Amino acid sequence: MSSGAGYPAGVVNLYGETLELSTTLASLGMPGIETKQAIIYNPNYDFRLHINPAITQVLFYDASNDAGSRFESPITPALTNRAATGSGASFDAMTTSDRLYVCLPDIIGGLHIDMTTSLNTNASAITVNYWTGAAFTSITPTDGTIIGGATSLAQDGDITWTAPTDWVASHLGGENYDYGVKGMSITDKDAPGTYGFWLQIYFSAALAADVEIANIWTLNKNTNRGYFHGGQEYPISFDARKVGAIEALLDADKIEAGEKDTMEITWIRTVI
């Protein structure tokens, strides 16, 4: 009697979509952890492609809860699996004392934020901090979700930064609390203890009463993307524990200004 999947693993589902490309970066999160492969095809022009790190965990820290229960259940699948339900009520009226913690397996250069129709309407600027090994330190983001120069999470967009060289991986809470991330202005030790590169995100003013993020995925820290030729299919395999998104743009050295193309992506879900 066999156990587990044989290899090559059998296909259980195919999911096709497109990504509009120009010389401006475009990105797309992988649809679910069961996605193991993709066929990528750009019909006309050469392009550059990156495979981006997955998000290991997303935690919401509710400062209004009692000590010991301020870390809400992880909202990782809801925010990182595009077939899931989004952030729910976590961001509704999020206060300046609340925090979002994001854990990553590698250093990144930004996050893409995909909002639902429940957008923030309160003027509020985002703060993004990274862990240096001693303290959370500002990462100075460029916030593409801003409207009107003051309202973050008011539209879909990229939040980008220059990847810091002193970002240190560590545990957040759990049994390793005394050896991991501190300086959070909290007393809770009941965070799950996950190890990785942690981001701390919060806002300068309370968000609107109904704010919901549908999906979050990572942007790469590097600009030295791989080179690919137009008119050819490229099959790529993924380890969904480490890979969570792709990003691409047209090769500016090979096209005239203003050219666009439509990348076709077939996601392949296989036996787990």
* CATH code for the domain in which residue 179 is found: 2.60.120
Burial, 28: exposed, middle or buried (Cβ in 10 Å; 0-12, 13-18, 19+)? buried
Whether 119 and 19 share a structural domain: no
Is residue 185 in some structural domain?
A: yes
Whether 192 and 260 share a structural domain: no
Whether 137 and 177 share a structural domain: yes
Contact 87, 213 (CB under 8 A): yes
Rounded mean pLDDT, 51-64 = 91
Whether 213 and 95 share a structural domain: yes
**Integer CA distances (angstroms), 239 to 49, 74, 224, in order:** 17, 21, 21
Whether 255 and 144 share a structural domain: no
Whether 211 and 122 share a structural domain: yes
**Sequence-ordered strand ranges (E) for the chain:** 11-21, 26-29, 35-41, 47-53, 57-61, 99-104, 110-115, 126-131, 136-138, 142-143, 157-160, 170-173, 192-203, 213-219, 226-228, 233-237, 243-250, 261-270
- pTM value is 0.89
Q: On the CB side of 113, how many CA atoms lie within 13 Å of its CA?
A: 28
Residue 165's nearest CA partner among 200, 143, 197, 127 is 197
Q: What is the mean pLDDT of the chain?
A: 88
Whether 232 and 205 share a structural domain: no
Whether 64 and 178 share a structural domain: yes
Over the stretch 192-201, which tens digit does the pLDDT of each residue have?
Answer: 668 899 999 9
Contact 218, 245 (CB under 8 A): yes
**Integer CA distances (angstroms), 168 to 132, 177, 219, in order:** 5, 15, 18
More confident residue, 76 or 2: 76
Whether 46 and 62 share a structural domain: no
More confident residue, 43 or 4: 43
Count of domains for the chain: 2
More confident residue, 82 or 102: 102
71-75, 90-94, 179-183, 220-224: range with lowest mean pLDDT:
179-183
pLDDT band for 189, please (50, 70, 90 cuts).
low
Where in the sequence is the domain holding 262, given as residue range(s)? 11-52+222-270
State which amino acid sits at residue 62: D
Rounded mean pLDDT, 193-220 = 94
Over the stretch 115-172, which tens digit does the pLDDT of each residue have?
Answer: 999 999 999 999 999 999 888 999 999 999 999 888 999 999 999 999 999 999 988 8
Question: How many residues appear in the chain?
Answer: 272
Is residue 245 in some structural domain?
A: yes
Whether 85 and 143 share a structural domain: yes
Which of 135-159 are b and which e, b meaning 16 or more Cβ less than 10 Å from the residue's Cβ?
A: ebeebebebbbbeeeebbbbebbbb
Is residue 66 in some structural domain?
A: yes
